[in-house]
Every structure is written in structure tokens, then in C-alpha cells.
Chains A and B, each alone.
Chain A
Amino acid sequence: MTLPLRAHRAHQTLQSDTDWSWLSQWRSQAWSTFADTPWPTRKTEDFKYTPLKSLTNTDWELPTGSAKGTGRGVEFENWPRTVLTLIDGRLTDHDELPEGVTVKLLSKASAEDRVRFEQRLEAGLADNKQLFSLVNQALLSEVVWIEIAANQQLEKPLHINQIISSGAQQRVIPVRVLVDVANSARATLVETFSSEADGPVFINPITELMLADNARLTHYHLLMEQGDVRHLGAVQAQLGAYANLNAFHMALGGVLKRKDITVYHRGSGAELNLNGVYLPRGKEHIDYHTCLEHEVPHCTSQEVFRGIIGDQAKAVFNGRIHIHKDAQKTLAQLSNKNLLTSHQAEVDTKPELEIYADDVKCAHGATISQLEQKSLFYFLARGISRPEAEVMLSFGFINELLEGLEDEPVRLLLRPVLANLFAKEDIWARHLL
């Protein structure tokens, strides 16, 4: 069967290489659903503004052999972490795990673990209408399953350092990370993605966060890969009663990035803070689709996404808030602001409300504009040159979200990256560094 996304050989190679019949079946089920799903066109609502042509002219292969490169990935200064390094979707190294944290790998599952994996994956949140969740399942070769035991308060953050190794081979990298935070446990999870590749890469990661009652998780999901990278993946989260998820997403360019973030409020009193920034330049394309599923009463969501789109780049934002029939007393708010800085750039945003309960407070707002003239003049009137004023104001627009981050080291990592991103010449960023 010929599909626009050419990964069938990768799927078959995997299938011939396993004695785990459940897994093999699970994968082929996804493959056949995927094969039956029409390939998205401009008329497909979910991909209306995001063409997938950069995925279609390559025969995608799973990575083979041992990974090459520095294996460093993203590093934070002065921030003791428990680092798990994944190169091309394989766990290559990890620090000693703190008490109360267990990590299991699909590729090394014992007979006993296999049964648990089967149950966990089948009960998972992955949406099998989501095209790239299906691809992930059809090509699934590794799952990193992290469990944080009840009442554990992790002192150090867990850092999943995902690295795409160097080399010119055209690779598809499917990987799934499951993080289960048990009752009243508290943790910080940092996920970073970086690339050393020279050839075309298609990374297809899914992160699933299960927060049990009273669990608290601070989550950073930072897509720092640039260059010839396509990143199409999802983050799915489920919140139990009084659970609290504080999430920050960031995407720098790459050929194409698409992230579907879905949060299911399934226990009363759950709280979500979901923030994100996207910064495409050049001919890059970034697409965030967020969906907040309020299924039960008395939950809150605060969502803020901001983007700066320059050069010939394009950004897409779709923010859906869905209040189910019984989700009374929900508070949900979404703000999406965009700065468009070039005549060749484009931004398409669609905040959506779908509401089936009357006693709720929901609102969304979206803006697209350039830098405010009033602010720009304030800078000019103090002698600051126009390009420097523009860099500082652009930075400030994003920095408003960085200032809200709980962890200073993340801010320190991102500050120079952002400052330099906006400044075509270093000198314009000098007062930000």
C-alpha cells in the first residue's frame, strides 16, 4: 500500500523483529487505522494551516547501529537534576534514580513487566484519531515509563534529555514517555529536545502525564532542535482531583513542528497552568494545537501562548476549550498573542470555545499585531536605537512568560537563546545578556 508518509518498511522491520505478540498486534492495529485515514489536505480541519509535504518525499527508516555525536544535548547550569539521556529514542544513560522513582523500558521488559506495559499502554491517553499518535503506535519501539510513588516530593527535577544524533541518515524517531505521578506526589519534569543531525529527521514523540489525586507536576517541554528536523508529536495529560499541572512549552524552529497538547480534567478541583511560546524564523513552521477537556466540575485552566513570527516563517495556534455537560463551575481562560514582524510571515490562530454547561466562566482572547508604537517611541525618546528597541521589546513580550517560571535555571538557559534569536546583530541584544 502506498501512503504519502513512507514508513511502511520501518513498521515491517519492527514487526519481524519481535516475539511479543501483543505488541506486534498493537502496532499493526495502529498501522491499519493510519493507512485507512485519509492523508490530510488543506480541507482537513486539523491540518488546515499546516501542510505536511515536508514529510512525504522521504523513505523514513528507524535509526540503526550505535548513535554518534556528543551525547550532551541541553545542559542547565547550577541545577542538580536526575538526567535520563535518550539518543534517537533509546535510553543510553541515566543518573542514579531518587527514592520513590522507578523507570521501566519497553525494550527491556521482563515477562511480568510486559503484562503491566500492556495494561498501561491500552489504558493510555493517546488519541487514536490523532494522526501522529497512530504513527507513534505503529512504529513504537521504545517506551520510557517513569513512576513516582505516592507522597514522594522529588527534590531534584527529572530531566529527559532527548538528543537526535549526528549523521545524515533519514530517520524517523518514535518515542513514548509515560510519567505517572501517584497520589500527593510532587515533581518537576524537564523534557528537552535537541539535534546534531545533518540529514532529514522526523521525530515523533508522545509524552503522557498521569497525575493522580493531589499530585503536583511542573513540566517543561522545550523543543530546541533546529535545522532539518520535523517534530510532530503530542503531550497528553490527565488530572485527578486537586491535581496541579504547571506546564511550559517552547518551540524554536525546524522545518516543521506540530504539537498537540491535550489535558483532561478528570477529578474535581484540578488546576492547570499551561503556557507556551513559539518562535519560528526563516522558513520555519510551528503549529501548536491545545485542547482542554473539562469533564468534571470545579476545575480551572489558565492558558497563555505567545509567538513571534519573522522572516518567511509561519505559526499556527489552535486553542480549544471544551466544557462537557456536567463540568459546572469551571473557570477556563485562554490568551494567545502574536507579533508578526515581517511582510512575508504569516500567523493563523483559532481560539475555540465549545461549552455545554451554563454555570461556567470561560473566555478567550487573541491578538495579532506588530510591536506597539507607543512602547517603541518610549525607547526612541530615550535615545535607544530602533533595532535595539525592537529586540528588547520582542524579548520583553516573551519574557513576560519566562518571568512566571518557577525555576530560575530554565530562565537562565532560555534568556540568551531568545535574546540572540531576535537580534540579527549581537550588539542589539547586549543589554539583555
Chain B
Amino acid sequence: MSEHIEEYLKSEYSAGWVTDVESLTIPPGLNEDVVRLISAKKEEPEWMLEWRLKAFRSWLEMTEPQWAHVKYPKPDFQALSYYSSPKSMEDRPKSLDEVDPELLRTYEKLGIPVHEQEVLAGVAVDMVFDSVSVGTTFRAKLKEAGVIFCSISEAVHEYPELVKKYLGSVVPQKDNFYAALNSAVFSDGSFVYIPKGVRCPMELSTYFRINEAKTGQFERTLVIADEGSHVSYLEGCTAPMRDENQLHAAVVELVALDDAEIKYSTVQNWYPGDSEGKGGIFNFVTKRGLAHNRAKISWTQVETGSAVTWKYPSCILKGDDSIGEFYSVALTSNYQQADTGTKMIHLGKNTRSTIIAKGISAMKSENSYRGLVRMNPGAEGARNYTQCDSLLIGDQCGAHTFPYIESKNPTAVIEHEATTSKVSDDQLFLCQQRGIDAEKAVSMIVNGFCKEVFKELPMEFAVEAGKLLEVSLEGAVG
């Protein structure tokens, strides 16, 4: 039976084509001059350059983390190019109408609504292509509500006070090796500010596309939800199929002020490499949110891509009564390796966190959950509940769980559970005996396994996520 499942898994990566546009890509290599060049290309103010240089100098002193349960050839940081932009973007188009249609077609082809009149009109999109933001839809409509949604490059110019105040406030420049690298060379990404008491009138989303070869993407996203506001944000990612590994080292910072709520969803479909384990994205990402009093931060992620993933969307529950949530589905197949999970740092009183992590490993992949739940001495009455489940498909893969659980407060309650299971021959047989073909049966079982996470996704994405899993598992059964 398991060979059928493998057959089912050998599917094509559907987003693996290349957009044929002329790009301006700076030569490979990394030094202070490169950092200055990136800053100059973006015409950044002096303070921004200084911030980058400080990060770069720290990075030079740091070493790559070794603790994750992944094996990969160490990226050669001098062989990568740190900035690449479609040539047409150099002219700084003023609106979407001026953007090279070939670029917009890239997003259309990926199913992203780039025209405001389209069906998914409830979603505003920022499109990031290699190192630059191509354009952002619905800006005017959002502005009416006082919501700022633009690229981080624009924000540096137009909202310097907000950027200065919050950039690096959740993920400091020196936080870790890849965060420091990102802080030095970050190119584009999204900036969101929701004013006090405002409920963002539509879903916001950013769609990241790596196109150019031998480049890394270092996006930076900053979401600030002011007191009592509410926002739901989604991100999606794809890249062409290439034989070499490409590096994606992003930093996402969320700030939820008193009574604010941020819901951050990711459907990550970076190119995972081929069936021999060749190529694919190295996805080394730092995502963290800071929740003030009674604020809520909810991370939902569906991870199907990347050759190697190293990612722990986290919550610092600083304010009393704040809430952190992490819902995750991570699917690995072929030679993919994922080491992903979350950290819930409880500082405030009566803080609450929930972690639901579902790992599915198939073929020769390695899938690890790594998490930290920490109750600091001040976390009076705090609670955490964690459930980690692994589903194994085939006997060549690995499924691992590494939860770190720390408590310094006797009134805090932590509950952690983990289980493993497989798609059993019995389950498949039952389905088949009732007339359901094996492929459909696996997809049903996997979807059932992930149900608790999918229900947290915004509706449009839940459908997409279900399909994505189905595609990723396609050909596994016959």
C-alpha cells in the first residue's frame, strides 16, 4: 500500500516557472559596501543606513545556528546576490497601471487578484518580486479607513516615525544569525498600520515571489495594530524550480497594542526541490509578535514548500490577559526537511496560549516540531495548551517532537500532548471497500488530520490550503 502512497506524492510543483523580465541584479557578495548600495538604491535616510550597518557588524560576529534537526550545505554568503529588481521597476511606477504587465501576469498566473475589480475583492495585495514591491492594491480604499498598507521601503520614507519606533522592537537586529543578516540587507516587504479602534475593512495580503537565479530574498514585514484595532493578514510565497538552493531569510514583526488583534496566516509554497532532493528554497525565517494588555496574536501556517525550513512564529505575551495562538500544518515529502514550531513566552498575568501543530512526513523527508513554552515568574494564572500530532506516510521518513517547557510560576498551568500515527492500511482499505479510491482516501485522511488548523484560516485560503495539500500529495496512491 505504501508504494501507492509514494506514487501519489510524486507530483509536479505547479509554480515552478520563470518570468522572463530583464532584471538589475547586483553582483554576488556581501560587505559593507553592498549594504550601503542597497540602502542607496532605496534612497534611504541616514538613520536607516546606520541601522543596517549596525546589524551587519553584529552579523559578522555571529555563527549559523546548529541546533535544528536539519542537514544542509551551508550557504555561501559571498556567492549570493543581495538585490535584484526588474528593470522596469527602476522607473518607480506611480500606480499599478504603470507596472510592467509581464510582472502583473506573474501574479495572475499564480491566482493572485491584482486588479481591484476581481472576484476576491475582499483582499488587498502587496506584490513583492525578488527585492522590490511591484505594487499594492486597494491603497486608496484602505486609506479612507486610516489603514496604512504599503511596502516597507515606502514606509521608511513616508512614515519614518512609526518605522523608527517599531522596527527591531520585537526582533532585535542581533536576535539571531539570520535575523541579523536580514536586518542588514532586507529589501522589501510590507508595512501595515491599523489606527486605534479600527477594524481593517478587508484582508491584507502580501505575495512573495523569488524569480531571479542566485539571489536571496530578505523581506521584512512590520505590522502594527494600535489600541483596540483588528487586522487579518495573509502571506503567500512561491519560486521557480532551480537546481541550486536559494535563500529566503525573512523577518516578520507584529506589534499588537492594548486590546488589538492580529491574525497572521501563511500559505508557504516555496519550491521544495526535486524528487532527488536537488534545489529548493532554504527558508530561514524569524517571525515574532509582541502582545500588550488583552491583545491577541494568532499565527496560522500551512507549510508545504522549501527544501529546508527553520521557522518559529512566536508570541511574547507581555501584557496581562494577552493571548497567543499557533496553528500549523507542515507537510514534507521527498527530501524536504522542516524544523518548525513556536515559542510562547508568558510574561503577563492570566496570559493564555494555544499551540496546535500537525506534521505530515512522507517519503524521505524529516519533519520536526520544536517549541518553547515559558512561564516567567510574573505569569500569574497563565495557561498553555499544546497538541502536536505527527502523521507518517511510509517508513523512510522521520517525525520528531522537541518541546521545551519551562515554568517559574506555580499558578501557571501547562499541558502538552504529542502523538504519532500513520495512514494505516486498514483505514485505506475501509475507504476502498466503501468505494472511495485510495488517492481520495489519503487526501480525506490528511485533510481530517489538519482540520483543526484549516478552520483557523480565512475562508479563501482554507480552500487553497486544502488544494495545496492535495496537490503536494498527488500521485501517492493508485
Contact = CB atoms under 8 A, between A and B. Distances in A.
B95 interface: no
Interface in A316-368: 325, 328, 338, 340-343, 345-368
Interface in A155-183: none
Contact of B422 (A49, A350, A358, A365): A358
A358 B398 CA distance: 8
Contact of B405 (A348, A355, A356, A357): A348
Contacts of A343: 377, 408-410
A346 B408 contact: yes
A45 interface: yes
A369 interface: yes
What secondary structure prevails in chain B residues at the interface with A? strand
Contact of A351 (B413, B415, B416): B416
Contacts of B407: 338, 340, 346-348, 368
A430 to B, nearest CB: 25
A370 B410 contact: yes
Tell which of A342, A345, A352 has the most Cβ of chain B within 10 Å: A352
Nearest to B393: A358
A367 B398 contact: no
A432 B417 CA distance: 32
A362 B420 contact: yes
A100 B422 CA distance: 46
Nearest to A371: B410
Given A348-B404, A348-B406, A358 B395 contact: yes
Contact of A354 (B400, B406, B409, B416): B400
B303 to A, nearest CB: 19
Interface string B364-407: 00000000000101000000000000101111011111111111
A356 B367 CA distance: 10
B89 interface: no
Contacts of B418: 351, 353, 363-365
A355 B417 contact: no
A342 B2 CA distance: 51
Interface residues of B, number: 36
A338 B410 CA distance: 10
Contact of A353 (B401, B410, B411, B415): B401
Nearest to A353: B401
B392 A358 contact: yes
B417 A369 contact: no
A354 B404 contact: no
B414 interface: yes
A356 B420 CA distance: 11
B420 A360 contact: yes
A368 B413 contact: yes
Nearest to B366: A356
B47 interface: no
Nearest to B388: A353
What secondary structure prevails in chain A residues at the interface with B? strand
- Looking at chain A, what size class is its interface with the partner chain? 35 or more
Interface string A356-397: 111111111111111000000000000000000000000000
A350 B403 contact: yes
Contacts of B424: 359
A352 B401 contact: yes
A353 B404 contact: no
B67 interface: yes
A42 to B, nearest CB: 13
Contacts of A352: 400-403
Interface in A193-224: none
B63 to A, nearest CB: 11
A368 B397 contact: no
Contacts of B409: 340, 343
A362 B419 contact: yes
A328 B416 contact: no
B393 A366 contact: no
Contacts of B413: 367-370
Contacts of B420: 353, 355, 360-363
A349 B407 CA distance: 9
A362 B408 CA distance: 29
Nearest to B408: A346
B412 interface: yes
A335 B395 CA distance: 26
Contacts of B398: 354-356
B347 to A, nearest CB: 15
Contacts of B417: 363-365
Contact of A325 (B2, B67, B395, B422): B395
Contact of A363 (B392, B408, B419): B419
Contact of B399 (A49, A328, A349, A355): A355
Contacts of B401: 351-353, 364
Contact of A369 (B394, B402, B414): B414
Contact of A355 (B67, B375, B400): B400
Contacts of A368: 375, 405, 407, 412-414
Query: What 5 A-B pairs come out closest when comparing CB atoms?
Result: A358-B392, A340-B410, A353-B401, A369-B413, A368-B414
Given A347-B406, A355-B398, 18 more contacts: A340-B407, A340-B412, A342-B410, A343-B409, A346-B407, A346-B408, A353-B400, A353-B418, A355-B390, A356-B398, A358-B394, A359-B395, A361-B421, A365-B416, A365-B417, A367-B415, A369-B413, A370-B411
17 contacts: A328-B395, A345-B408, A348-B405, A349-B406, A350-B404, A351-B416, A352-B400, A352-B403, A355-B398, A358-B392, A358-B393, A359-B395, A359-B424, A363-B418, A365-B418, A367-B416, A368-B414
Interface of B: 2, 67, 375, 377, 390, 392-395, 397-422, 424
